[in-house]
Amino acid sequence: MDRGNAFAANCPTRQLLDRVADKWSVLVLLILGDGDMRFGGLKRRVEGVSQKMLSQTLRSLERDGLVTREVTPTMPVMVTYGITPLGRELLSALRSMIDWAETSMVKVVAAQRSYDARP
Amino acid sequence: MDRGNAFAANCPTRQLLDRVADKWSVLVLLILGDGDMRFGGLKRRVEGVSQKMLSQTLRSLERDGLVTREVTPTMPVMVTYGITPLGRELLSALRSMIDWAETSMVKVVAAQRSYDARP
């Protein structure tokens, strides 16, 4: 099987969609696309993410081959995250979604107001 | 403000990202992109979604102005869902992500196996 079917519950593509259609993953990939970063730096950039959620997100992204984790044996140990070529492919696929979200926000907020004002 | 900042926790773009970076929304938009459909039809197409989750997803998408809900006063009432022009814009932005997920699945599964095999 060379191509998955995201509609099938048991297809790995569905699990992949769980990952890529996840806001924390998207935000982390966006940041690492601009350059390597340490855990603390990522935590500061992604407002509102918990330590636990960021750790889980990074571990999943590393397991999926989208992010690298490099340990430098200093004291204390320094851990740097980066993006893989596969992660960069995903990032460029995601870029149009992010662009849409950032530019269409105004229209969506207007739609929400009109929905909430319904009798 | 004409353009949002998805990294800021209090920016509406972040909330929008929550919505669009959600697998159920993505799958529903993909289906409605091919034509209007009733609730039962959607439920059958999106394997593994619960009645409650599908209702919530459709309500959010309708509130965001991405999906229409049309009630035909038959007995019993017939409810049909469709995609709005704004929803179609998002869908075309999402298409490259879906394509990536369906074609890169094999590489991701290989990365996961190699991660899981680490000592």
Is there a contact between B98 and A6 if contact means CB atoms under 8 Å apart?
A: yes
Q: First-to-last CA distance in chain B?
A: 50
Strands B37-38 and B67-72: unpaired
Residue B9, pLDDT score: 73
Does A28 contact B at CB distance below 8 Å?
A: no
Distance from the Cα of A82 to chain B's closest Cα (Å) equals: 16
Does A40 contact B at CB distance below 8 Å?
A: no
The Cα–Cα gap between A63 and B70 comes to 43
Query: If you average pLDDT over residues B45-70, what whole number do you get?
Result: 93
Per-residue three-class SS string for A58-86: HHHHHHCCCEEEEEECCCCCEEEEEECHH
Distance from the Cα of B13 to chain A's closest Cα (Å) equals: 6
CB under 8 Å to B99, separation ≥6 — which residues? Answer: A93
Chain A residues within an 8 Å CB radius of B62: 115
- What are the structural domains, with CATH classification, of chain A? 12-94 (1.10.10.10)
Whether pLDDT at B19 is above 70: no
- What is the maximum span of chain B, computed from C-alpha positions, in angstroms? 63
Can you tell me which residue has the tokens 């959600």? B22
Residue B105, pLDDT score: 82
**ipTM here:** 0.75
- What is the maximum span of chain A, computed from C-alpha positions, in angstroms? 63
Give the tens place of pLDDT for each residue, A20-55. Answer: 677 888 889 989 999 999 999 999 998 889 999 999
